[in-house]
Amino acid sequence: MKIAVAGTGYVGLVTGVCLAEHGHNVTCVDIDDSKVDLMKAGVSPIFEPDLEELMIKNLDGLYFTTDYKTAYKDADVIFIGVGTPEKKDGSANLSYVYGVAEQIAESIEKDCVVVVKSTVPIGTNDKIEAMIKSNLSHNVNVYVASNPEFLAQGTAVRDTLHPSRIVIGVEEPIAGEVLKEVYKDFDAPIVITNRKSAEMIKYASNDFLALKISFINEIANLCEIIGADIEDVAHGMGYDSRIGNRFLNAGIGYGGSCFPKDTKALHWLANFHDNELKTIKAAIDVNENQKLKLVKKSRKYFDNFKGLNVAVLGLTFKPGTDDLREAPSLLNIPIMLEDGANIKAWDPVGVDNFKKIYPHEITYCNTIEDTLKAADVCFIFTEWDEVKNFDITKYNKLMRTPIVLDGRNCYDLASVKKANITYDSIGRETLYILEASPV
């Protein structure tokens, strides 16, 4: 099938590459010439495991262009996978989606199905259909379908090739039949519903997972007060099939491009209709407070950061990606810098993006060891495997004061007890050494 994909970010590029892997003829459209040239050469503009290898494998059936008119004019299916960033009021910015809809309307010369892959507020597909149909340059039939993505950064290729479900929202049966043909070789259950329900499935799914994370973080905070262990609590909860064991890892909150944006967008939409979603609001509030958990913990050991050597391990919002959006590091590091800290930071893939924000204020290190040398305190913001597998005894050997504030519970407490460090994590017992006891 001849397919065009608008946008080559996480959603658009991964979708296009995975559809090409399943034998479709795919053209990906972007407005950036330099980005298109990179992709033509088999170079991915985003860091995502397995994506570049799959691009190179499928270059014979995978094309990249800035010429949207040629890409759209005779496509059987056009996927819209552009960004819907958050506005200052929490609502979704749909200007990119609507811009693509206008381009489609002026370009298509045959009947086609337009598929909205971007995460959009409920009712947006109806508006896109009206916009396209009222601006058509040729006498063709166009059908608009909602087909939300359920990929996670770091596992996006796997999530797309082996989805838990494929959700298709349509108003006309023909659009559903076309999309079933698109996905016929995908081994996943297909859920066909109307467009608004499909749009809501996406938001409800992401917001439920965000709520689950905020819930376990609140329980973790209480565990610290009463002396319970959050890992034991989560382990016991996870055996209940109604709850499950995923998204029960306590930490310093969620980040990235989906959960923060989607919780705020649904909360905004509900408020717009005078129907506040109290649980979603609570998840948002808890998450914002949780991101500062380590800085608050640090006040037990230091009045402020002035003159302190601070080691930061992990800059991205999660391992497996170079994405900094809503990462705890972006909230915490400015506080430390303003307080007068000397910061050394390490991240295996996120440094280049962080340098765009702080090119000179931070010393960036190539190894964890270099980051820890002579440090007074270490903050762990991202649970990279390199951090989790790091020799814990080196903290004491390398740091001036071995105080480790772990926002991702990277280490087993039994192992830490042998390392002679102060170790303060989330929802668990704090382990002290004599010279670093709280003031």
For residues 333, 338, 341, 344, the Cα torsion angle rounded to the nearest 10 degrees is 30
Active site residue 410: no
- Is 212 known to sit in a ligand binding site? no
- Is 119 known to sit in a ligand binding site? yes
- Is 64 known to sit in a ligand binding site? no
- Is 248 known to sit in a ligand binding site? yes
Measured distance CA(134)–CA(137) in Å, rounded: 9
Q: Residue by residue, what is the 3-state secondary structure of the chain?
A: CEEEEECCCHHHHHHHHHHHHCCCEEEEECCCHHHHHHHHCCCCCCCCCCHHHHHHHCHHHEEEECCHHHHHHCCCEEEECCCCCECCCCCECCHHHHHHHHHHHHHCCCCEEEEECCCCCCCHHHHHHHHHHHCCCCCCCEEEEECCCCCCCCCHHHHHHCCCCEEEECCCHHHHHHHHHHCCCCCCCEEEECHHHHHHHHHHHHHHHHHHHHHHHHHHHHHHHHCCCHHHHHHHHHCCCCCCCCCCCCCCCCCCCCHHHHHHHHHHHHHHCCCCCHHHHHHHHHHHHHCCHHHHHHCCCCCCCCCCEEEEECCCCCCCCCCCCCCHHHHHHHHHHHCCCEEEEECCCCHHHHHCCCCCCCEECCCHHHHHCCCCEEEECCCCHHHHCCCCHHHHHHCCCCEEEECCCCCCHHHHCCCCCEEECCCCCCECCHHHCCC
- Is 279 known to sit in a ligand binding site? no
- Is 325 known to sit in a ligand binding site? yes
- Is 84 known to sit in a ligand binding site? yes
- Is 207 known to sit in a ligand binding site? no
Length of the chain: 439
- Is 373 known to sit in a ligand binding site? no
- Is 155 known to sit in a ligand binding site? no
Catalytic residue among 112, 223, 258, 378: 258
- Is 246 known to sit in a ligand binding site? no
- Is 250 known to sit in a ligand binding site? yes
Are 231 and 219 within 8 A, CB to CB? no
For residues 381, 382, 385, 389, the Cα torsion angle rounded to the nearest 10 degrees is 10
* Binding residue positions for substrate: 202, 247-251, 255, 318
Q: What residues are labeled active site? A: 258
* Binding residue positions: 30, 35, 84, 119, 202, 247-251, 255, 261, 318, 325
* Binding residue positions for NAD(+): 30, 35, 84, 119, 261, 325
